Amino acid sequence: MLLETERSFIGLPVSSKAAATKAHILAKAAILFNQQGYAGTSMADLMAATGLQKGGIYNHFRNKDELALAAFDVAVSQIQAQFMGAIRSQRHAVDRLVALLRVYSCIVEAPPLPGGCPILNTAIDSDDTHPALRDRARQAMDGWRHLIHRILEKGQLRQEMRSDLDAEAVATVIIATLEGAVMLSKLYGESIYMERTLAHLETYVQTQLT
């Protein structure tokens, strides 16, 4: 078991065997749920992936629901880390938005987590069948929308963005377009859909928002 990698994967220091085992379970479960969905991931799948018996998994999580929620948080943290890393060195609002857009190229071509965007996957998978997971996906999406809002609002204060922009409308257009491109790229197994989308959105950000 690649526990050192898995410790880094979930972003937690691991100082005990129990913590290392929990990190291992989360790392494997995050991948399974992101690829197969909640309903499509069985306990047998989790046991096979982790190399643990059911009791070994439930020593750390009360049930499959608790594991799924924790695994989703781990998955989203990987995307969030990429977003923050992309904008950390950028100062101008346009550059920050373009940097965020380009993260999506990585999500399609070399996703930090196999299976693609965990927010999109979980939103579709949970729908009305798992309210807790759906709510967690909404919270993650709220965070993504809020990040775009902050960039736009700061850009307006610095006169880098048009003062009449509707931040909510811009965030909706950007996120809906990107997630649609993720879906098309996965469906057809072709990155061209994301490439076209990114080219369009970069032009939109650089010419329509300033």
DSSP label at residue 16: S
**Whole-number pLDDT of residue 111:** 82
- Residue identified by tokens 């990114």 is 198
- Checking if the pLDDT of 116 tops 90, the result is no
Mean pLDDT over 12-24 rounds to 78
Write the DSSP assignment of 106-160 as a string of letters: HHHHS-SSTTS-HHHHHHHHHTTT-HHHHHHHHHHHHHHHHHHHHHHHHHHHTTS
pLDDT tens digit string along 150-190? 999 999 999 999 999 999 999 999 999 999 999 999 899 99
Q: CB burial class (10 A; 0-12, 13-18, 19+) of residue 138?
A: middle
Which two structure tokens, joined as six digits, stand for 140?
A: 């993650």
Task: Please state the rounded mean pLDDT for residues 22-36.
Answer: 94
Q: Apex CA 79: angle with CA 191 and CA 190, to 5°? A: 10
Confidence at 1, pLDDT banded by 50, 70, 90:
very low
What's the pTM?
Answer: 0.84
Q: What is the mean pLDDT of the chain?
A: 90
Percentage, residues of the chain above pLDDT 90? 76
pLDDT tier at 110, thresholds 50, 70, 90: confident
Residues contacting 107, CB < 8 A, separation 6+: 79, 82, 116, 117, 182
pLDDT of 128 strictly over 80: no
Structure tokens that stand for 151 in this block? 């960039």
Predicted confidence at residue 13, as pLDDT, reads 54
Domain made up of 66-208: CATH architecture: Orthogonal Bundle (1.10)
Number of Cβ within 10 Å of residue 81's Cβ equals 12
Q: What's the CATH fold of domain 3-64? A: Arc Repressor Mutant, subunit A (1.10.10)
What are the two backbone dihedrals, phi and then psi, of residue 209, each rounded to the nearest 5 degrees?
Answer: -100, -10
Compute the CA torsion angle 189, 193, 194, 195 (nearest 10 deg).
120
Q: Where are the domains of the chain?
A: 3-64, 66-208
Asked whether residue 131 carries a pLDDT value surpassing 60, the answer given is yes
pLDDT at 15: 57
